[in-house]
Amino acid sequence: MAVVSRGGAQAQSWPAKDIELLVGQGAGGTTDLVARAVATAMEPDLRRTIIIKNTPGAASNAAIAQLVASPPDGYRMVTIGVSNFLAPYTTDATFDPWALTPIGVAGEIVYGIGVGRNSPAKSIAELVALGKTKTVSYTSSAVAGTRAMAQLGKLTGAKFRWIPTTGGPEAVLQAAGGHVDAVIQAPADMVPMIESGELRLLASAGRVRWPAYPEVKTLIEQGYDAVSLSFVGFAAPPKLDVAIQKRLEAAFVAACAKPEVSAAIAKFGLVPSGTPGSDLTRLVKESAPDLIAILSEAGMLKKKP
């Protein structure tokens, strides 16, 4: 009872100081920009400043490791995506991402499939046909992006092989230069090359079309039940007091619902979500099994789930 009492008292007085948001990527990137837009909009509701602390390293897992070592008092959060939930299986990370307290999903990343301008594939159907004559190589900087390609292979019998890269720009350049057959990446990385004519967009690998290219259909619209899922979300340390979680969650959802925040999220190439923590958990559970299988096939699993 004493522990419950202390938690209840803490929740009643919270927040008594400013809150820190750890961003696992450098300043100026998509995750950073989305995080700043949402955090700023949460401040009036919480009546506290949310201080952004960029903590890049270990594929954004350094920030999560730092969060897990923090007390569950509601004064520290972290940005998180699907790939972070795979860290215990692919790295030496010792934290359990499933133990984190989910706060919400700001927006979903809508991946796209593209090929270099000299590629013989002018459509997804032609890319699939190519994959039936040879193994089609494709780049992606995030395992979350590979899911649609793996599903496409299972649906059609075409062969696709993932070539991991250290960043989105590298993934796009490999495809644009003809070093690989295709790329599946986020809009922020692909659009400049599409606009220059070096890259051809064949499909949106998300649930919706890209706003910048509304004429390009999704894989589902083209007859292939394949989707790549990822997002920019917020999470707090494990065992956070439920009352504090609910207040953070409510402030998060309200912030994302503001027109200027929703517009900013869309501008940064995401589909605005603004959904609570339960949606974050659902999205990860939906895609994690496929991604673990992909990592296993690529020989990238250090330990099994």
Given this model, what pLDDT does residue 120 score?
97
Give φ, ψ of 112 to 5 degrees.
-135, 155
Show the tokens assigned to 262.
């929703």
Cα separation, 157 vs 161, in Å, equals 13
CB atoms within 10 A of CB 166: 9
pLDDT of residue 190: 94
19 token code pair: 């809150």
Bridge partners, residue 19, by sequence = 50
Q: In this structure, are residues 233 and 104 in contact, taking their beta carbons and an 8 Å threshold?
A: yes
Residue 91 contacts residue 59 (beta carbons within 8 Å) = yes
Measured between alpha carbons, how far is 285 from 290 in angstroms, rounded to an integer? 10
Domains and CATH numbers, the chain: 2-108+230-297 (3.40.190.150), 112-204 (3.40.190.10)
Task: Write down the pLDDT at residue 3.
Answer: 35
What string of pLDDT tens digits covers the 305 residues of the chain?
A: 223 334 566 678 999 999 999 999 888 888 899 999 999 999 999 999 999 999 988 878 899 999 999 999 999 999 999 989 998 888 888 889 999 999 999 999 999 999 999 999 999 999 999 999 999 999 998 888 999 999 999 999 999 999 988 788 899 999 999 999 999 999 988 999 999 999 999 999 999 999 889 999 999 999 999 999 899 999 999 999 999 999 999 999 999 999 999 999 998 889 999 999 999 999 999 888 888 988 888 788 888 77
The residue count for the chain: 305
Closest to 68 measured CA to CA, from 239, 285, 231: 239
pTM over 0.85: no
As a whole number of angstroms, the distance between CA 27 and CA 118 comes to 34
φ, ψ of residue 206 to 5 degrees: the values are -100, -170
At 7 the pLDDT is 52
Residue 2 is predicted with a pLDDT of 29
Q: Helices marked H in the chain — which ranges?
A: 2-13, 30-46, 61-68, 87-90, 124-131, 147-156, 168-176, 187-196, 242-257, 259-267, 277-297
Chain centroid offset of residue 124 CA: 24
